[in-house]
Amino acid sequence: MLLALAGSLWAEQQPGSPEQVPRAEAQSEIEKGPVISQFRENWILGELRALRQDMMEYRNQMNLLVTDRELEVADKAMGYATNTVTYFFYLIAGAASILALVGWSTIRDLKDNVRVYAEKEMARLTSEYESRLADLERELRRKSLSIAENQEEIERTNDIHSLWLKATKEPSAQAKIELYDRILELRPDDPEALAWKADAALELGEQRWALSLCDRVLEVDEENSHALYQRACAWSGLGEIENALTDLAAAIQTSETLRSHARSEEMFEPLRELARFQELVGSDEDSGFSA
């Protein structure tokens, strides 16, 4: 959407005559995309930096929180174990005093049983708290991984945004294609990048290449109006009149704003006198638009 707005502003500032309607001016809104003001660009980049800083602070807070939790769990485990052993020894001392009358062998058996029980209890507590610590470590790793992935996505989005800005300011179709290829390296099969790359291919006269790019977009999103429109242009350039009219009708049905673009589209020159084409695009008087 930002790309479409910038294209419209740029097209309004370019001189031209009604007799010469180049393709670049005919598609002022659909081709050029938005030229974001320096103020808005700085604001977007500032927001991205602030978000990245927040993510780093969140990771640091998570590390501090997990460390505190680990220390707290360890302290509780040691305190509980110490209290348990102390109580057992108190119990042994009391029982020994009472059972002294019974005999030494009975006291020795009791001590052995108490020791075995204490060892089992310590083993159980140790296993339980080790399991809790392992869960905390897994959660920490998961959070750290999520933070790292989010940071990478922010950096990728920032790079893609910069490439889109360069593409809107680049007059050369070949240079635009190179920028769109860099966007596709960062985000493969991006529908918008493929559609605009097809548009640049049409400017170079590569109708079949543009057709292939549009097909890739429509395999993912069969109602993508931009791809349908560009494929209609490609069909028209190849002399496939019926296919061109079919795709143009589908594009206009999806996005009504494409109707006015089609009236002045240079690629539709072979369709200009056809009744079906005139029915699809209407006339300038029908839409209140003067050429």
pLDDT tens sequence across 94-118: 766 666 655 555 667 777 888 888 8
Give the 3-state secondary structure of residue 258: helix
> Within 13 Å of residue 124, how many CA atoms lie on the same side as its CB?
8
For the segment 176-202, the average pLDDT, to the nearest whole number, is 89
14-28, 141-155, 259-273, range with the lowest pLDDT: 14-28
List Cα–Cα distances, 110 to 89, 97, 117, 122, in angstroms.
Answer: 12, 12, 11, 18
Token readout for 241 is 């009149």
Which residues partner with 230 through β-bridges?
none
pLDDT tens sequence across 26-81: 444 444 445 456 777 778 777 888 888 888 888 888 888 878 777 777 777 777 77
Q: In angstroms, rounded to a whole number, what is the distance separating the alpha carbons of residues 222 and 227?
A: 9
51 contacts: CB under 8 Å, gap ≥ 6 = 154
pLDDT category, 249, cuts 50, 70, 90? Answer: very high
Q: Torsions phi, psi of 17, nearest 5?
A: -125, 155
Token readout for 123 is 């083993």
* pTM greater than the 0.75 cutoff: no
Cβ-contact 59, 149 below 8 angstroms: no
Query: For residue 287, is pLDDT > 90?
Result: no
Q: How far is CA 54 from the centre of its chain?
A: 18
**Which of the two residues, 102 and 125, has the higher pLDDT score?**
125
Question: Residue 14: what pLDDT?
Answer: 47
> What percent of the chain lies above the pLDDT cut of 70?
79
